[in-house]
Structure 1
Amino acid sequence: MECRKVQGRLVGCLFNARAVWRAACASLVLAGGVAALPAGAVADPGFDRFVTDFWPKAQAAGISPQTYKNVFTGMEPDTDTLRLMNKQSEFVKPIWEYLDSAVSDTRVEKGRELLVQYDQVLRNIEARYGVDREAVLAIWGMETNYGGYMGRHNVIQALATLAYGAPRRKEFWHRELLTALKIVQGGHVRFEDMEGSWAGAMGHTQFMPSSWKAYSADYNGDGRRDIWTSVEDALASTAFYLKKHGWQTGKTWGYEVKLPAKFDFRLADDDTTLTLGEWQKRGVDRVNGRNFPRPGDRAILVMPAGVNGPAFLMLRNFFVIKRYNNATAYALAVGHLADRIIGGGPLASDWSREHMPLTRTETAELQQLLNRRGFNVGAADGKVGPATRRGIRAYQRARGLVPDGYPSIVLLAKIKMDG
């Protein structure tokens, strides 16, 4: 029997290490024999045991023996997933570098081309779900560069690897794996075509299996919710996701603004919510000098790089985007890319690029120094949360600095010099 390897799976080989299907495969074994692993493959008895032990849970969830056998026969752990799940990223990309890449001229131009190419589809989706077409396109562009790169991992293999080897969130990975198996069994995508990221995000707009289950849409009515090969289904699914999380039709995500000279930075706490009219009374204006079209809309002031970078008044839709990916840089990139696709220009303000963000190790050092100087921020865990920002602001006010709460390499150097 000839063997070939696809996504770490031995297609066409019979691998009988899993007791769960030994009996079902007995006749095939007798007819064709048992193929060995190919040269270079490393057997993982622990993974084999996981596959065997996971079968009762899959069976209870409605997975058939045939589906389970077809998927797991010859599967090995995904070595990339094993490597990446244990890798603690130390480097933090500055937001300006992130935006330079995420909202590049090339991506903007491609988005404008696709806005024309999928005009009718996007109009239909906008009418059906009430989500603005440019936002849907921008998420597609951000997630996979408009389908240019959807990941090179088989999703079930990646999820099985995480369910087997991840040190945390075992039940989460088990649930995602079961849902992925149901997607294949339901005929929505072939196992071989189920491509995604090393962590199991799938298709054109990178849904986890649980998100696919809750929000995927069958735009073309063929009975399949195919976010892998159907652009229409993927875009409709993204719109449905945004709608379900509270997207406000016809409204923007936010506005770039300029602050007055004597602005009260206590209002820039990532929590204070005022109407746009109330912000304007406090001297916060749009950078283009225009009035806010709906002064009653409520917004939060966000300064992603502190006082030395652009400032934004973020509306409800910005926080809906964050439900897709809970990162300020991501949501800002999606919103800005959406604006650029429909003809908007670059940001008006520049970033002070010497104010580099801190690595996790540097953040822990900053927290230790703040604690020693009486500005209690809690555990020095290298994570910037509300307590750390409050401590930074207290330190900045005590030293006559602008209390923007932004942890940068410049601030760390200042605290070190304080001795």
Structure 2
Amino acid sequence: MHRLRLAVCLSAFIAATPAFAARCGGDFNTFVQNMSAEAANAGISQATIAQALGGVQQDFGVLAFDRRQRGTFTKTFEQYVATRVGPGRINGGRAMLRRYAPLFSSIEAKYGVPRQILVAIWGLESDFGKGDMGKLPVFRVLATMSHDCRRTELFQGELLAALQILQRGDLPYHEMIGAYAGEIGQTQFLPSSYIKYGVDFDGDGRVDLRHSVADVLASTANLLHTNGFKMGAPYGEGSANFEAMREWNHAVIYRKTIAYFADQLVARF
């Protein structure tokens, strides 16, 4: 699912991305040096910069993948949902609702986002943490995409956010692994969203969106709550909650799939 999110939702972060001075294009190593200086000016330690960007290589496979994206769904909703929400995934989601019932009650009480919406997103993004969360080094991806001039300010912002994640100790360097736009974890947060919405809900002192189910689900709820999602209100197409989910994904078909999946999870449950 992170690949579809790459195609449809990166534009949501452009307006929130600060301007950076590192010039895109040209020699890659020179660009990394300039970006390292930008990071230091933003308060990132030299040790963190050296660990993350020392010897980082350009990834032409990431660039090739990015250029193949079209930003649109080619299937109808009926075609798409049939490939994403089947009996096995519905049963798996219902098992998660049972397994984590007390956790969901706590999250609902704090953030006002219903559990079936969270489980639907979790299932679609990573099959409840059991599926593909991406296998690419985040700093290599983001340095590559920052150097590319098409969306350099966006990805320079994401690179800085990834450095913050590492410096805060949320994830160690070897676990900064993600997808083709640097998305991380079980619900595929871009680094800027990780910083903005990430919650340490298990109380261990760090926001771990790769391993901590509590942090994953609470952070997802926090994103939706912050963008206006209201408990007890409809979330189908045309509703205010459906619009609140736009921060998660701009594509109407994908949001309709979340709503459909959520309804299936609680039907006769």
| TM-score for both structures, normalised by structure 1 | 0.55
**Residue 47 of structure 2 corresponds to residue 53 of structure 1:** no
The CA deviation string for residues 343-390 of structure 1, in whole angstroms up to 9 with x for no partner, is 269xxxxxxxxxxxxxxxxxxxxxxxxxxxxxxxxxxxxxxxxxxxxx
Gap change, CA 1:242 and 1:91, over 3 Å in 2: closer
Q: Structure 2 CA distance, aligned partners of 1:316 and 1:160?
A: 37
Gap change, CA 1:179 and 1:102, over 3 Å in 2: same
Q: Over the residues paired in the alignment, what is the CA RMSD in angstroms?
A: 1.8
Gap change, CA 1:212 and 1:88, over 3 Å in 2: closer
Decide which of 336, 339, 346 is 2:260's aligned counterpart: 336
Decide which of 158, 162, 177 is 2:141's aligned counterpart: 158
What residue is the counterpart of 1:235 in the other structure? 217
CA displacement at 1:146 relative to structure 2: 1.3
Q: Structure 1 CA distance, aligned partners of 2:234 and 2:267?
A: 14
**Residue 87 of structure 2 corresponds to residue 105 of structure 1:** yes
Q: Structure 2 CA distance, aligned partners of 1:91 and 1:138?
A: 19
Q: Structure 2 CA distance, aligned partners of 1:46 and 1:139?
A: 40
CA displacement at 1:251 relative to structure 2: 2.1
Q: Structure 2 CA distance, aligned partners of 1:179 and 1:122?
A: 28
Kindly, what percent of the aligned residue pairs are identical?
37
What residue is the counterpart of 1:267 in the other structure? none
The CA deviation string for residues 256-283 of structure 1, in whole angstroms up to 9 with x for no partner, is xxxxxxxxxxxxxxxxxxxxxxxxxxxx
Q: Which amino acid aligns with 1:244?
A: T
Q: Structure 2 CA distance, aligned partners of 1:55 and 1:322?
A: 33
Q: Which amino acid aligns with 1:200?
A: G
| TM-score for both structures, normalised by structure 2 | 0.85
Decide which of 312, 325, 330 is 2:249's aligned counterpart: 325
Decide which of 166, 179, 189 is 1:184's aligned counterpart: 166
Q: Structure 2 CA distance, aligned partners of 1:244 and 1:91?
A: 27
The CA deviation string for residues 74-121 of structure 1, in whole angstroms up to 9 with x for no partner, is 321223311112224398233222111221222111101111111111
1:136·1:239 contact (CA, 8 Å) conserved in 2? yes
User: Structure 2: which 5+ residue stretches go unaligned?
Assistant: 1-25
Q: Structure 2 CA distance, aligned partners of 1:330 and 1:161?
A: 28
What residue is the counterpart of 1:272 in the other structure? none
Q: Structure 2 CA distance, aligned partners of 1:186 and 1:236?
A: 19
Q: Which amino acid aligns with 1:340?
A: Q
Q: Which amino acid aligns with 1:319?
A: E
Alignment length (residue pairs): 242
**Residue 175 of structure 2 corresponds to residue 201 of structure 1:** no
Q: How do residues 340-379 of structure 1 correspond to structure 2 at under 5 angstroms?
A: 340-343=264-267
Decide which of 138, 142, 146 is 2:128's aligned counterpart: 146
User: Structure 1: which 5+ residue stretches go unaligned?
Assistant: 1-44, 255-312, 346-419
Q: Which amino acid aligns with 1:335?
A: A
Aligned partner of residue 68 in structure 2, secondary structure: coil
Q: Structure 2 CA distance, aligned partners of 1:189 and 1:181?
A: 10
Q: Which has more strand, going by share of residues?
A: 1
CA displacement at 1:65 relative to structure 2: 1.4
Q: Which amino acid aligns with 1:242?
A: L
The CA deviation string for residues 238-262 of structure 1, in whole angstroms up to 9 with x for no partner, is 01111111111112312xxxxxxxx
Which is bigger in relative contact order (C-alpha 8 A, separation at least 6)?
Answer: 2
Q: Which has more helix, going by share of residues?
A: 2
2:77·2:257 contact (CA, 8 Å) conserved in 1? no
What residue is the counterpart of 1:218 in the other structure? 200
1:218·1:225 contact (CA, 8 Å) conserved in 2? yes
